[in-house]
């Protein structure tokens, strides 16, 4: 399974969520989403959970990487 990367840094609310939702709707489950603020992390985590995915976030320098996978 290839991991789809989404760079959502610096995008205002709700664009990070829209990008992730679009990717999930297209059938992707393994995503790696780069965000630069806590709000985007919370929102994406909430959406991914509602879409039946499990999430895991790690800090990467000033940014955060959210990894999603089939629950």
Partner 1 sequence: MKNIFSTRTGIIVVGAVIGIGAALLQYFGNPPNMGICVACFERDIAGALGLHRADVVQYLRPEIMGFVLGAFVAAFLAGEYKPRGGSAPLIRFFLGIFAMLGALVFLGCPWRALLRLAGGDGNAILGLLGLISGIFIGVQFLKHGYSLGRSYTQRKASGWIFPAIMVGLLLFLVFQVTFTPGGPIFFSAKGPGSQHAPIFISLIAGLVIGALAQRSRFCTMGAFRDAILIKDFHLISGVAALLVFAFAMNLILGQFKPGFEGQPIAHTNHVWNFLGMALAGLAFVMAGGCPGRQLFLSGEGDMDAAIFALGMIVGAGIAHNFATASSPKGIAAFGPAAVIIGFIFCLIIGFTQRDKITA
Give the one residue of 47, 48, 53, 64 binding partner 1; rule: CB under 8 A.
47
Buried b (16+ CB within 10 A) or exposed e, 16-47: bbebbbebbeeebbebebbbbbeebbebbbeb
Q: Of 3, 5, 22, 56, which one interacts with partner 1 (CB under 8 A)? A: 22
CB of 44 to partner 1, least distance (A): 11
Tell me if 6 sits within 8 A of 44, measured CB to CB.
no
Q: How far is the CB of 71 from partner 1 (least distance, A)?
A: 18
5 touches partner 1 (CB under 8 A): no
Q: Would you give the DSSP letter of residue 28?
A: -
Find the shortest distance in angstroms from Cβ 7 to partner 1. Answer: 9
């Amino acid at each position: 399974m290839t991991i789809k990367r989404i760079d959502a840094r610096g995008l205002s609310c709700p664009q990070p969520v829209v990008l992730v939702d679009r990717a999930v709707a297209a059938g992707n489950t393994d995503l790696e989403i780069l965000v630069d603020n806590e709000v985007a992390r919370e929102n994406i985590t909430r959406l991914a959970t509602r879409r039946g995915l499990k999430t895991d976030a790690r800090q990467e320098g000033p940014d955060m990487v959210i990894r999603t996978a089939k629950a």
